[in-house]
Structure 1
Amino acid sequence: MKIFIITIIAGLLAACSQSPQQLAAQGNWYQVGYQDGIKGHTQRTQSNLQSLGEGNQGEYYQGYLDGVNEYCDPDVAYQVGFSGQYYQGVCEGTPIAQKFRMEWQRGWNDFNH
């Protein structure tokens, strides 16, 4: 379990090494989406993507889905809440949404007490 959490944290740190603006300038729209998803952010709108440049919405969307799939792991949801990260509901509609939300809430409650 510790190795899994360390792997997730390492992935988060690696994903955060470049800003969305830098990735967009490189044409790496998959990574822009992945960063948004793995951080639990809601999906960018078309106009928000266009503000970054001439984007590839399909690549962004695939990256976003891959990032959200990793973010929505109930085994790390407690840590997400305990770290003070607000849950924006990106896991809703998935089979593990309720378990993720419950574990996140438990961590959020501990963070706030």
Structure 2
Amino acid sequence: MRLAGVLLMVLTLVGCAKGVDELAKEGSWQQIGYQDGVRGQLPRSYSALQELGAANQAEYENGYHRGIKEFCDADYAFQIGLSGQQYNGSCEGLPEAQRFRMEWQRGWNEYSSH
């Protein structure tokens, strides 16, 4: 069941992922933030957003928080580690951060042992 959830998340990302430059031209700052968050990336700085265009920081942050909440679901952390995806600490400060990190590490250890 977990694998199905991870696959659904990946397919969703692939299906709706436009390039960041294209999204910036459209003014889709919330979507840029969401994509960064759901991929487990650390948030972009204000200056990094400004390099893309006239950024709306509030919209970016709203999208990022929504995306990072989905990424940091500890029920999927094992699969993320097992897939070989690095974890950069993007979930720190969230309620299930420790559980996420432990489950990711368990998956990462199994991935690394093959």
- The residue aligned with 1:62 is 62
Deviation at 1:106, TM superposition (A): 0.6
Aligned positions of 1:18-33 closer than 5 A: 18-33=18-33
1:84 and 1:5 map into 2 onto residues whose CA distance is 13
2:97 and 2:36 map into 1 onto residues whose CA distance is 18
Q: Secondary structure of 2:51's partner?
A: helix
User: Are positions 1:5 and 2:6 aligned together?
Assistant: yes
How big is each residue's C-alpha offset from its partner over 1:41-64, in whole Å with a ceiling of 9 and x where there is no partner? 000001100000001000000000
- The residue aligned with 2:34 is 34
How many residue pairs match? The answer is 112
Deviation at 1:3, TM superposition (A): 4.3
Structure 1 unpaired stretches of 5+: none
How big is each residue's C-alpha offset from its partner over 1:47-94, in whole Å with a ceiling of 9 and x where there is no partner? 100000001000000000000000001111111111111111111111
Give the share of equivalent positions with the same residue, in percent: 48
C-alpha RMSD of the superposition: 1.2
- The residue aligned with 1:14 is 15
Structure 2 unpaired stretches of 5+: none
- The residue aligned with 1:111 is 111
Query: How does the TM-score come out when normalised to structure 1?
Result: 0.92
Deviation at 1:11, TM superposition (A): 2.1
Query: How does the TM-score come out when normalised to structure 2?
Result: 0.91
Q: Secondary structure of 2:88's partner?
A: coil
